[in-house]
A and B are shown apart, each in its own frame.
Chain A
Amino acid sequence: MNEWKRVFLSPRRLGLLILTALLCVGFFMAAVLDSTLDQEYNYYTNVSLDDLGKAAAASDYNAALTELWRDKTPQEIATLAQDKEDKLEGADMWFYNSEDILGIGFSSEEEALAAISDMPALLEALQNGVDREFYITLTGYYNVLDAILEDAEYLAGYSEYLEGIQSRAAIQSQTSLFGKPGSFARRNLARTAEDFAKILGVQVEFGNSRGVERWLDFELGDYFHLIAIAVIVMSFLEERRRGFWPLVRATRGGRWRLGLTRFGILFVGSILATFLYSFLPFAVSMWFHGGWGDLGRALQSVAVFKTCPLRISIAQWLVRFFAMKVLSGVLIGLLLWCVLGSITNPQFSVAVLGVTLAAEFVLYEYLPVQSILNVFKYFNIFAYVHTSALYTNYLNVDLFGFPMGIRSVALWGLVVVGGLGVLWMILIQLKRRPEGNRDHLSRVSVTVNKVLDRARGRLSIGGWEGYKTLVYQYGVLLLALVFVISGELSYLQSDITPQVDHKYESYLRDMAGPIDESTDDYLEHARESAQGNPDGAALLQALDRVERRVTELRERAAEGGYQPCVIDKYNYDIAYGSESQNQQRLNASIAVIMTAILAASLCAFERQAGVVPMVRSTSRGRGRLFRRKVLMAALLAVFVWACVYIREFLYVLRERQLASTLSIPARNIDPLARFPLNLTMGQYLAVLYALRLLMLILTAEVSLALGSLCSNVRTAYLTCAAILGIPGLLCAMGADIFKWVSPTVPVSSAELMWGMGSGNYVYLIPWLAWLCVSAAAILAMRKKWVRG
């Protein structure tokens, strides 16, 4: 029982399980938002809690329509859905061109409102008149109707699809084009027909499939499951790391009995992981998408199971799936346990495991389905990680000329490899000894170290700090991770069609650049052209607006003493302005978390090793070492800054073609009209990026200081990421209150700089506050490290 308690009730492991379960549900909801509202979201960007309501409205609409049309034929459903979609299109056009209501299929406003009366969220958005709100709500409803149309089409054609498989098999088996009798191709044809014959005549029914579909789309839960299993297996090796393996092995129950207990723990752990990372998102999905009512339908009623030849209901499949998930978890755990337990050197065992998992992942992800080696794609650890793919893909692999379904391969693998794994585990428990095992690596590692020691002997104190961070604390891997994650960030707010006067905007685009005599010539010429145009009145109206704008810019520039220019504000707004505030906050909070984690271990590493008193008793172990640590933290922040923000700058410059506008005075942009300094846009951006760099460096120093209070590296990572990162993430996800307790806003700087454009010095406060906090943290840490 103690072993069970040790594994499951350890505060760290328990905390990790709870945290990952919450993250899993959080990411799942983000993915639901993504697919429901069809923005260019990914897990890191643009998710706003406000949008959850819109997604829920779309989901309710889907549930209501499904209930209403349940007894209708697919053809009737398609007609009804198409009619609804046409009306939605009308409402869409009405919102953006309200004066043309007669041209879009409505005779009056009342009729238009009645057409969307069953879409309350859209009605509200229409009345509020806010672009983004209307656009996103509308997209949600569009997606519902599109999906219903697709469902109707799928259901209408499914029996034909099944019959097609049989008739194709009959025809193709008669011709030598598809292989000789006895070949794999011929056998595969027969096998496929045989499998699908089992579900001929299956009754596919229309129903609410969205809950199951969205849940099946979510693959991240599978990785959380893998991580949880790995954490449980790592706990079995804790005695080795802590040096009391000999003690455990010397006890009466410390060998096979302990192994048996741990096997039970692995089994229960896999059940728990399946519950947390598979069942929980499933339950949330079903609840969010309208309940559990439709699980009695045939499995093939859900389009994603089109090629699954099992004659069972969705509910029966769920039972099978969760059982398979639990067993897969046990199998993966056994394999991890066997690899890690067989190698004495812990670092080498982790390296072997890393390489094995990487190779398996590459085979699983990149080996073509048609490859002759495709058995390695499905007889693969990741086939057990992504268990649902075994049911949603139909494929027979070539096993010595005989076709074998990927599900059968995985199931047989489960039995055979599982059995071997249990035997292997028993052998490890009985035969593996704490001391005296053959260590073939020792000689190799001594040779490698001999070369490395020569190089390390030349390192300065700063060089040593870098080496310790990058090599001993696996900083290189963290930096690689930073590089990859920052590549996934979005840098521009998704294009939302603004409500604009296109003629006016078009003139402004033509005139982009300095306002001088050529501007007046252009306007004069444009007026002449407009007068001969059939749309002349509207063009002249737009030109009047343009002239007013030019006069305003001239007056403002004369007052401020800079060159007046016409510049497209929108390009800057979606990258650095108020439109992109959430995007900027999210990117900043990711940058903050990455910086915090990188810098957290710089002092904690010394504390964990217990060398602080010894190091501090040397002549350079105080002030000089402290300065090198501070410098190292700053360099790590520079790396994150370069990954996130230099990448952003280059991306925005390229995507929005800003290079030609960098020399234009920033005050020409309306929100920056009263910016305290007379800067060009290039200078404005230079200040913005410099501030971001400074704020990130300060964040790294605060993380260094926080980490120095932690007694080990892992605690330092968690503490710094939680204190510095989580409030920022919450703030970026819409919980605005957290901006006051997070460095996200000063690190983002964009909204503060944009705010300073109104001449309001209040926006300086977050920068100054973070500067003060950082200075206090550095001074306190210095006092502790140098003075004692």
Chain B
Amino acid sequence: MELEIKNLTKRYGDNVALRDFTITFEPGIYGILGANGAGKSTLMNLITDNVKRDGGSILYDGTDILELGDKFRARLGFMPQQQGIYDQMTAESFLSYMGRLKGIRGRELRQQVGDVLGLTNLADVRHKKVGGFSGGMKQRVLLAQALMGDPKVLLLDEPTAGLDPRERVRIRTFIKELSQDMIVLLTTHIVTDIESIADQVLLIKKGELLRVDTPHALIESLPADWRPVMGIPSLEDVYMYYLGE
């Protein structure tokens, strides 16, 4: 299973959001790091086909995702950055609805709804309206829906934003467990999240892919004058070195 991105380009007017972006993803966790406006969310939106591409291709196991259409989306789990949610629905109803949109039905649907509610620690509030949830709880509901339908490609745009440290660790661990037979693309501003679970880190700047490597290799690549005098260098130093202005 692989997701191959070839020369992907997206422009918004004169502004190039993504330029000749090329990479191949295989099962594992890919952390995407970049400043605001670097093109991380655009990449996610192009993979979900929520935004029209201006050039290049995205191939899933050798076939373009536009050609695969619903077949590709059946293998996709997407958690968007904005907390778009039906406030009037209860957590369980929302997941049931999203499950139906993913083609899950009957006992299987009830089973999966129960499972993801448990995984995201929402079982106690399953019958409460999502509109009354805190930002962190909404985040978990969105993550729960992304996990439904046994996705093979999981796109998580800022999944741990707004979560408390305990929840973040829980979710991180869970994502790590999932990644054995799944491609997980994860964007976040919380560098430690990526550092602890990502197999590979993508550094994006102004729509271009600067580097792809393991967190360890990236840290190792830091020049001496960018290493802290005291303590151990981290991915945050990498971020500042490669992506800081």
Binding site for B on A (CB under 8 A): 442, 445-446, 449-450, 452-453, 456-457, 459-461, 464, 468, 472, 609-623, 625, 788
Given A617-B78, A788-B50, A453:B85 Cβ within 8 A: no
Most buried by A among B82, B85, B86, B126: B86
Give me 20 A-to-B residue pairs in the complex whose CB atoms sit less than 8 angstroms apart, sorted by A's number.
Answer: A446-B128, A449-B127, A449-B128, A452-B90, A452-B93, A453-B96, A456-B93, A459-B100, A464-B100, A468-B86, A611-B84, A613-B84, A614-B79, A614-B145, A616-B48, A616-B49, A617-B76, A617-B78, A619-B71, A619-B102
Q: How far is the CB of A244 from chain B (nearest CB, A)?
A: 14
Say yes or no: is B236 at the interface (Cβ < 8 Å to chain A).
no
* A618 to B147 Cα, complex, angstroms: 12
Partner of B101, one of A453, A472, A612, A620: A620
Q: How far is the CB of B152 from chain A (nearest CB, A)?
A: 12
CB-defined contacts of B96 to chain A, threshold 8 Å: 453, 456-457, 459
Given A613-B80, A619-B73, 4 further pairs, Cβ under 8 A: A457-B93, A468-B86, A472-B88, A619-B74
Given A609-B87, A610-B84, A611-B84, A618:B127 Cβ within 8 A: no
CB-defined contacts of A788 to chain B, threshold 8 Å: 49-52
* A396 to B147 Cα, complex, angstroms: 70
CB-defined contacts of A442 to chain B, threshold 8 Å: 128
Q: How far is the CB of A444 from chain B (nearest CB, A)?
A: 11
Q: How far is the CB of A603 from chain B (nearest CB, A)?
A: 14
CB-defined contacts of A613 to chain B, threshold 8 Å: 45, 48, 50, 78, 80, 82, 84
* A621 to B110 Cα, complex, angstroms: 19
Look across to chain A and name the residue whose beta carbon is closest to the beta carbon of B51. A788
Partner of A618, one of B92, B93, B101, B113: B101
Interface band, chain B: 35 or more
Say yes or no: is B83 at the interface (Cβ < 8 Å to chain A).
yes
CB-defined contacts of B3 to chain A, threshold 8 Å: none
CB-defined contacts of B49 to chain A, threshold 8 Å: 616-617, 788
* A472 to B101 Cα, complex, angstroms: 18
Most buried by B among A446, A449, A621: A449
Look across to chain B and name the residue whose beta carbon is closest to the beta carbon of A453. B92
Q: How far is the CB of A628 from chain B (nearest CB, A)?
A: 10
Partner of B90, one of A453, A614, A618: A453
* A457 to B98 Cα, complex, angstroms: 11
Contact A618 B102 (CB under 8 A): yes
* A615 to B97 Cα, complex, angstroms: 10
Look across to chain A and name the residue whose beta carbon is closest to the beta carbon of B73. A619
Q: How far is the CB of B79 from chain A (nearest CB, A)?
A: 8
Contact B109 A457 (CB under 8 A): yes
Contact B102 A620 (CB under 8 A): yes
Partner of A453, one of B45, B86, B88, B93: B93
Q: How far is the CB of A2 from chain B (nearest CB, A)?
A: 27
* A616 to B50 Cα, complex, angstroms: 7
Say yes or no: is B231 at the interface (Cβ < 8 Å to chain A).
no
CB-defined contacts of B113 to chain A, threshold 8 Å: 457
Q: How far is the CB of B10 from chain A (nearest CB, A)?
A: 12
Say yes or no: is B142 at the interface (Cβ < 8 Å to chain A).
yes
Q: How far is the CB of A614 from chain B (nearest CB, A)?
A: 5
Say yes or no: is B54 at the interface (Cβ < 8 Å to chain A).
no
CB-defined contacts of B126 to chain A, threshold 8 Å: 453
CB-defined contacts of A617 to chain B, threshold 8 Å: 48-50, 73, 76, 78, 155
Say yes or no: is B70 at the interface (Cβ < 8 Å to chain A).
yes
CB-defined contacts of A612 to chain B, threshold 8 Å: 50, 84
Contact B88 A614 (CB under 8 A): no
Say yes or no: is B62 at the interface (Cβ < 8 Å to chain A).
no
CB-defined contacts of B142 to chain A, threshold 8 Å: 614
Say yes or no: is B103 at the interface (Cβ < 8 Å to chain A).
yes
Most buried by B among A450, A456, A618: A618
| Chain A binding surface, main DSSP class | helix
CB-defined contacts of A472 to chain B, threshold 8 Å: 86, 88-89
Q: How far is the CB of A701 from chain B (nearest CB, A)?
A: 22
Given A614-B80, A788-B50, A788-B52, A609:B85 Cβ within 8 A: yes
Binding site for A on B (CB under 8 A): 45, 48-52, 70-71, 73-74, 76, 78-80, 82-90, 92-93, 96-98, 100-103, 109-110, 113, 126-129, 142, 145, 149, 155
* A611 to B74 Cα, complex, angstroms: 18
Most buried by B among A446, A617, A625: A617
* A457 to B110 Cα, complex, angstroms: 7
* A452 to B45 Cα, complex, angstroms: 34
CB-defined contacts of B129 to chain A, threshold 8 Å: 445, 449
* A207 to B181 Cα, complex, angstroms: 92
CB-defined contacts of A625 to chain B, threshold 8 Å: 101
Partner of A457, one of B71, B92, B101: B92
* A450 to B78 Cα, complex, angstroms: 27
CB-defined contacts of B50 to chain A, threshold 8 Å: 612-613, 616-617, 788
* A450 to B126 Cα, complex, angstroms: 9
Q: How far is the CB of A35 from chain B (nearest CB, A)?
A: 45
Sort A-B residue pairs by CB-CB distance and give the 5 closest, nearest first.
Answer: A610-B84, A619-B74, A617-B78, A618-B101, A617-B48
* A82 to B101 Cα, complex, angstroms: 76
CB-defined contacts of A614 to chain B, threshold 8 Å: 78-80, 84, 98, 142, 145
Q: How far is the CB of A234 from chain B (nearest CB, A)?
A: 18
Contact B101 A611 (CB under 8 A): no
Contact A623 B87 (CB under 8 A): no
Look across to chain B and name the residue whose beta carbon is closest to the beta carbon of A473. B88
Q: How far is the CB of A650 from chain B (nearest CB, A)?
A: 37
Contact A446 B51 (CB under 8 A): no
Look across to chain B and name the residue whose beta carbon is closest to the beta carbon of A607. B84
* A611 to B83 Cα, complex, angstroms: 8
Q: How far is the CB of B75 from chain A (nearest CB, A)?
A: 9
* A434 to B149 Cα, complex, angstroms: 38
Contact B90 A449 (CB under 8 A): yes
Q: How far is the CB of B131 from chain A (nearest CB, A)?
A: 9
Look across to chain A and name the residue whose beta carbon is closest to the beta carbon of B77. A617
Look across to chain B and name the residue whose beta carbon is closest to the beta carbon of A346. B131
CB-defined contacts of B73 to chain A, threshold 8 Å: 617-619, 621-622
Contact A615 B101 (CB under 8 A): yes
Look across to chain A and name the residue whose beta carbon is closest to the beta carbon of B71. A619
* A777 to B142 Cα, complex, angstroms: 32
Contact A611 B85 (CB under 8 A): yes
CB-defined contacts of B70 to chain A, threshold 8 Å: 619-620, 622-623
* A442 to B93 Cα, complex, angstroms: 17
Look across to chain A and name the residue whose beta carbon is closest to the beta carbon of B50. A613
Look across to chain A and name the residue whose beta carbon is closest to the beta carbon of B126. A453
Q: How far is the CB of B185 from chain A (nearest CB, A)?
A: 13
Q: How far is the CB of A434 from chain B (nearest CB, A)?
A: 12
CB-defined contacts of B145 to chain A, threshold 8 Å: 614
* A623 to B92 Cα, complex, angstroms: 25
* A235 to B238 Cα, complex, angstroms: 49
Look across to chain A and name the residue whose beta carbon is closest to the beta carbon of B47. A617
Q: How far is the CB of B18 from chain A (nearest CB, A)?
A: 16
CB-defined contacts of B51 to chain A, threshold 8 Å: 788
* A452 to B93 Cα, complex, angstroms: 9
* A621 to B109 Cα, complex, angstroms: 16
CB-defined contacts of B88 to chain A, threshold 8 Å: 472
Look across to chain B and name the residue whose beta carbon is closest to the beta carbon of A347. B88
Most buried by B among A459, A612, A620: A620
* A460 to B88 Cα, complex, angstroms: 18
CB-defined contacts of B71 to chain A, threshold 8 Å: 619
CB-defined contacts of B52 to chain A, threshold 8 Å: 788
Given A613-B45, A788-B49, A621:B82 Cβ within 8 A: no
Partner of B98, one of A450, A452, A618: A618
Partner of A446, one of B76, B102, B127: B127
Contact B100 A461 (CB under 8 A): yes
Contact B101 A619 (CB under 8 A): yes
* A613 to B83 Cα, complex, angstroms: 11
Contact A609 B86 (CB under 8 A): yes
Q: How far is the CB of B17 from chain A (nearest CB, A)?
A: 15
Q: How far is the CB of A283 from chain B (nearest CB, A)?
A: 44
Look across to chain B and name the residue whose beta carbon is closest to the beta carbon of A611. B84
* A743 to B16 Cα, complex, angstroms: 43
